[in-house]
Every structure is written in C-alpha cells, then in structure tokens.
Amino acid sequence: VPGKITKVTSKNVSPYSLEVNWSKPLDNFSPINDYTVVWTNVYSGEELEDISPEPPYNITGLTPCTTYTISVIGYNYVGNGKPSDIVTLTTGKDVPGKSTNVNVKNVPPYSLQVDWRLPMDNPCSITSYTVIWTNISGGEEEEGNVTEPPYNITGLTACTDYTITVIAYTEKGPGTPSDSVNLTTGNEVPGKSNNVTIKSITPHSLEVEWNQPLDNACSITSYTVICADSSGGAEQKGNVTEPPYNITGLTACTDYTITVIAYTEKGPGTPSDSVNLTTGNEVPGKSNNVTIKSITPHSLEVEWNQPLDNACSITSYTVICADSSGGAEQKGNVTEPPYNITGLTACTDYTITVIAYTEKGPGTP
C-alpha cells in the first residue's frame, strides 16, 4: 500500500471552494492509482469525499466562514495507504443575503421602529446593518446604522408614507437589500389655522376665511369656528369641513372675537390667533316711552327712552311737533333727551314724534 501523504496544504479559492495540494508518497513499488480527498464540516459534522487522480484538488460547494478538516489518502491495487495528517482551514467571508421578516411599527406620530431577522443561511458574522428610509411622496433618502435590531427612525413627518429597506454587512461588504416595507406614520393634531380674515361684515352676519395649518401632512377632518361676544355674551360655535364659514344672528355694532380650530382624526389642534371685529352699523328702532312734561301755553318739554335692543350709538334725535289742525311743523335736533319746544300756540292740539339716528341713518319714528 502507499505510504502516508505528506505536506498537505490548502488555500481559499473563494468563500465556496478550497484548493488542496500534497506531495506524493512513496509508492512502495506499486503505482498510486488515485487519491481520496476527505473534508468534514466542523460545525455540522457532515463528511464528504471525492477521488482525484493527482494533486491539486478543488473542493467546491462549501459554506463561507466555515471551518473544515481535510485529509488525503492514496491507494493502489494493493489497498489504501495511511491518511495524511489533518489540515484545518476556514473558508473565506462572503457578503450576506437578504435580511428577512422586516417588520415596521408606528411610534406615533414622528417615529417608526424597524425590526428584522438576520439573513438565512449566513454563517459569516454580521458586522452591521444599514436601515434606509425614503418619503414616498418625494424626499431625500436617509439611513442609519446599527449592529443589531431593532432600529428607531425618528424625526419623521406625521401622516406620511415611507418605504424602509434593511441591508446587512459582513467584513466582505454589503449584502442584498431586504424586500421593501411601506408604512404610514401616525396621525397628529394639527397646528394653528392661518390667515384668519373676516369678509362681508353686515350688522348681523359675517364671513370667516382662513388657510389650513402650515406643515400639516395629516388630513383635516373639520374646523370649528368660535365667535365670542367681547362683552361676555353667549359664544357661538359652528363646524365646517372647509372655509369659508358664515356666522349669522349677530348683534349690530358689537365687538366679537373670532377663533378657528382645525381637527384631524387625532383631535383638535392649536386655536388660531384671534381676530377682533365690530359688526356693521344699522338704523335704530323706535324711541320708547315718549312723554310730555312741563306743559305751558307756549311750550312743552319732551322726554323719551332710547330704542330697545339697540347696540349702535345714537348720534342724535329729531323731535317733530306738528299742529294737528294742519299748521306749520316744527323740528328740533338734540343728542339726548329732554327737548324743549317753544313758540307754541295756546289751546292748540299738537302731535309729538321722536326719531333716533345712528351713523347709518334715521330709525323708525
């Protein structure tokens, strides 16, 4: 039989193959027919062998980053020789495969937590992972590095679609990117509605316009418009899905404060800056409780109360004294009661009427 194989050496050809070389032994006067190369996976215990007519021999189909033991046996027609001394070698490093089971969950409203499993069938040590995320609607690609899962992505925009990919690294370099996962960040309450303006002011109504909150990616579900009487009267609220909003049933010449609050599914946002205004002027109603005092043959004094439910300032009153027999009509203006009418005729019937004025004009007599 042949002698023991000597000077067995092996070297890496690739992460998946080794080249084995050796020196031929003494044939003991019987030519060596073939060599048996035996290799064993140290981790799994799997043993394989193959025949080689002469050195060197390439072992293929190996696993990267795995330790193997190798021995060589020569044989001839007489039989097998002694196995060579065992040689141990670890295959080369390879880039990893795809990270699997990438799972993303919301940490509302500005963060996402990414989890995953390391690539399958990858015996090489993972040195790091790169997590890549991109705003689907447009934006720069961003990334972060971590040595193991999970990874928290922060500083995102609420209610925005992102795509997330994970790439594993070994010392050899980056592996295949994982399958992408898409997720929408959580909802948030909106900011302040902007540019609240008042249009079409009348004595009893007004129209409110505004712009939706800035930097708000979440859908606005509704707006609440609040109209508060600055003097402490009743507060009026109305809901609408978009501007403008018409407020009715107001009191003329009255100060109001208008505020707009935007809502998302998460709830109400910050109230807008308040806008103050005064409703329009209107003509007054009837002066009340007109009474005559201090009647003399040639004069009289007229008293009255200002119109009821009149918030607008009375600028003046006109008092009309008409001779019931069709004589001359006498008029006088005054800013407040009473008013003295003189130059009358004794024993004569007169009709007295009072008309209040605002800046809008005369009211009802």
Last residue of a domain, one of 60, 90, 120: 90
- 258 — phi, psi (to 5°)? -110, 130
Residues 252 and 306 in one domain: no
Domain assignment present for 128: yes
Last residue of a domain, one of 123, 149, 184: 184
Q: The CATH number of the domain where 64 resides is what?
A: 2.60.40.10
Q: Given a cut of 80, is residue 93 above it in pLDDT? A: yes
pLDDT of residue 27: 63
Domain assignment present for 283: no
Instruction: Provide CB contacts within 8 A for 238, sequence distance 6+.
Output: 224, 225, 227, 245, 247
Q: How far is residue 182 from each of residues 81, 97, 162, 232, measured CA to CA in Å?
A: 63, 21, 6, 52
Last residue of a domain, one of 128, 155, 184: 184
Residues 45 and 85 in one domain: yes
Write out pLDDT tens, residues 243-292.
999 999 999 999 999 999 999 999 999 999 999 999 999 999 999 999 99
Domain assignment present for 178: yes
Domain assignment present for 189: no
Q: Given a cut of 80, is residue 119 above it in pLDDT? A: yes
Domain assignment present for 95: no
Number of structural domains found in the chain: 4
Domain range holding 27?
A: 6-90
Residues 107 and 159 in one domain: yes
Domain assignment present for 1: no
Domain assignment present for 294: yes
Residues 180 and 107 in one domain: yes
Share of the chain above pLDDT 90, in %: 79
Residues 239 and 314 in one domain: no
pLDDT of residue 4: 86
- C-alpha 7/C-alpha 3 separation (Å) is 13
Residues 245 and 305 in one domain: no
Supply the pTM of this predicted model. Answer: 0.72
Residues 22 and 64 in one domain: yes
Mean pLDDT in residue range 159-167? 96
Residues 25 and 67 in one domain: yes
For residue 82, give both structure tokens: 């002694």
- pLDDT-based confidence at residue 28 (cuts at 50, 70, 90): low
Write out pLDDT tens, residues 204-253.
999 999 999 987 889 999 999 999 998 887 789 999 999 999 999 999 99
Residues 71 and 109 in one domain: no
Residues 72 and 104 in one domain: no
Residues 207 and 133 in one domain: no
Q: Given a cut of 80, is residue 338 above it in pLDDT? A: yes
For residue 9, give both structure tokens: 């050496």
For residue 199, give both structure tokens: 């249009």
Domain assignment present for 349: yes
Residues 145 and 179 in one domain: yes
- C-alpha 290/C-alpha 63 separation (Å) is 111
Mean pLDDT of the chain: 92
- C-alpha 224/C-alpha 237 separation (Å) is 7
